[in-house]
Every structure is written in structure tokens, then in C-alpha cells.
Chains A and B, each alone.
Chain A
Amino acid sequence: DAGVIQSPRHEVTEMGQEVTLRCKPISGHNSLFWYRQTMMRGLELLIYFNNNVPIDDSGMPEDRFSAKMPNASFSTLKIQPSEPRDSAVYFCASSPTGANTGELFFGEGSRLTVL
């Protein structure tokens, strides 16, 4: 079975540009999570969806960040405009249960570098 699929795996962009990260969760999973990992702050939960509905976006750093889940098999995380401090690895994860009752299945991550 395919796991969580993220694209792109690597992205290098210049400050001010729009960045869109994509995620395809595991089929049948009804919860989807976006995390950001940096050396300074570790793994931070940005937002999670349950049945395509955003449940908690309190981790989204600021209005430059937005996330959507138009259907059960696709989600995007958009940064506009991007800044150098957004450089990080962004992980998408899905779960077959509610947010806090089971294991998360992570994608391989999207490494973003903003110059």
C-alpha cells in the first residue's frame, strides 16, 4: 500500500515567492496533520483536519500560512509570501482515527529553503 505522499520533496525559493506543498494521505484515513520540523523548535503541529474539516489551526504561525483539504485524498499547505524563517521540513501525516487516539503515518517530508 502507498503511504502518505508529499510533493515536492525539496523546494528552494526566494523570499516573497509563493510556496505550495502537497499531500496525499493514506486512503481511508480521516485525519490529516501538517507538522513543521526545525532544529530550533523541533516538531510543531501547524493544523489538523478531520473528515476534510480544519479542526485546530492554532499552530499556524501567521496569516501567510494557509491550508486546505478540498477532498479526502488531497491537502495543500501554502505560504505566501515566503520568508527565510519559513525554511524547514514540512511533514504531512494521516491517521485512521481521531486526532489523539492512534498512531500517525508520516510522509517523507518537503524540505523548504527560502533564500
Chain B
Amino acid sequence: SQQGEEDPQALSIQEGENATMNCSYKTSINNLQWYRQNSGRGLVHLILIRSNEREKHSGRLRVTLDTSKKSSSLLITASRAADTASYFCATDWTSGSRLTFGEGTQLTVNP
């Protein structure tokens, strides 16, 4: 089974609202990454947070990591229609050798 699981599977909001997506994982990790995928395109890296970090910011993005709960959240503030995409978390297992992606959250931002 895949390491990461995103929640919710789909999210629809209005432009200007904040969007929060969650990711849970099962085993210890070195780092956790978030990627965005626009329809019909490849994945684009957004942000990486290491296991010893608790929060990280990049522009309108805020990522948190709670290793005790094995979960992470991605917050997009002041959303825009252009943020409409699928968002994936990817985990790097400390005991494994592969970067594993979750199922993704489909975010729709309505103008």
C-alpha cells in the first residue's frame, strides 16, 4: 500500500479562501514533500520539509509536519483560480529506498 494518504480526496472553494490538505503516513520518514499537478501536466515540486522541522513557509504555502502523529498539512492562503490542481504528498522512508506518492487531493478554486 502507498505510504502517504491525502485527505480530502477533493476540495472545492471560492477564490480568496484558504485551502487545507492533509497527508498521513505510516512509517518513519526522512522528509516529506508536496507536489502540484495541473491537468495533463507533470508534477511540480512545491516544498520539502525535513523530519526535524515542524513548519515551513513558501509564499502563500504553509506546510506543517507532526511526526508524532505521522501527518502533514499543506495550507494555501488566499487561493486563486490558478491554484486549481491535484496536490500530492510524497514521503521518503528512512528504511526504504523510494519516494512514495499519495493518492492526491483535487483542489478546485472557483473564481
Contacts and interface: CB of A to CB of B under 8 A. Distances in A.
Chain B interface bracket (under 10, 10 to 19, 20 to 34, 35 or more)? 20 to 34
Interface of B: 2, 30-31, 33, 35, 41-45, 48, 88, 90, 92-93, 96-104
Question: Taking each of A42, A43, A93, A104, which has the highest tally of chain B beta carbons within 10 Å of its own beta carbon?
Answer: A43
Interface in A39-85: 42-43, 45, 48, 55-56, 59
Given A43-B88, A45-B99, A108 B45 contact: no
Nearest to A108: B42
Contacts, number: 55
Contacts of B101: 35, 42-43
Contact of A42 (B31, B33, B103): B103
Interface residues of A, number: 23
Contacts of B93: 100
B30 A101 contact: yes
Nearest to B97: A56
Interface of A: 4, 33, 35, 42-43, 45, 48, 55-56, 59, 91, 93, 99-109
B6 to A, nearest CB: 10
A42 B43 CA distance: 13
B103 A103 contact: no
Contacts of A59: 98
Contact of A100 (B2, B44, B92, B103): B92
Contacts of B45: 103-105
Contacts of B33: 103
Given A99-B98, A99-B99, A104-B45, A42 B30 contact: no
13 contacts: A4-B42, A43-B101, A45-B99, A48-B98, A56-B97, A93-B43, A100-B92, A100-B99, A102-B48, A103-B33, A103-B45, A103-B48, A106-B44
B29 to A, nearest CB: 9
Contact of A45 (B48, B100, B104): B100
